[in-house]
Amino acid sequence: MAGVWRALVLVVVLTVVVCVAHRLNYEEIISQAVHFFNQGQRGGPLFRLLEATPPPRLNSISTIPLDFRIKETVCLSNERRPLEECAFREGGEERNCTGNFFKRRYRHILTIDCTRDRRRAQEVLREKRSAESSEGTPPKAESSKLPPVIRDMYEKAKYDIISNILRNF
């Protein structure tokens, strides 16, 4: 009877070891997600991992939530260089990525959604606007080049707006 218990314990231990050996860690999953995202670039710039936020606690062994940021590099997707050798592009686009990694028996399913980092995009837009405003004032549209009917409609609307504003005072 002791031999049967030893055999059973040995089988359980070997099963656990095999399961742990096949489990991907969070960094490997994120690396696969970035690789998956870059496959869709087709001639565009490649992205590299900026930071990853591991989940505080994994509730499920089969579902792992993903949360990471990537940034545009100087390398293009048609180049055959390792991604680690690609430097980040100065002022490059940043994306916030979320998704899930599902493990179902022998299949791994990866879903990700990478959206542009709005804060970073607004900063870049502000920098462009301030650079444009320092160059001078934008040219005014010449109403003399408009067709007479449209020019008259514009002038009438302008005076109507002004008179409505003044009427309120």
Q: What are 17-27's pLDDT values in tens digits?
A: 344 434 578 88
Please, what are the domains in the chain? 21-136 (3.10.450.10)
pTM, two decimals, is 0.56
Give tens-digit pLDDT for 86-144: 999 998 899 999 999 888 777 888 889 998 877 665 665 566 556 555 555 555 556 66
Residues ≥6 apart with Cβ < 8 Å to 88? 48, 50, 71, 72, 73, 74
Q: Answer with the residue of higher pLDDT: 97 or 3.
A: 97
Question: To which H or E segment does residue 160 belong?
Answer: helix 148-167
User: 83 with 46: CB under 8 angstroms?
Assistant: yes
Give tens-digit pLDDT for 38-61: 888 888 899 999 999 888 776 566
Q: How many CA atoms lie within 13 A of 133 on its CB side?
A: 6
Tell me, what amino acid is at 52?
Answer: A
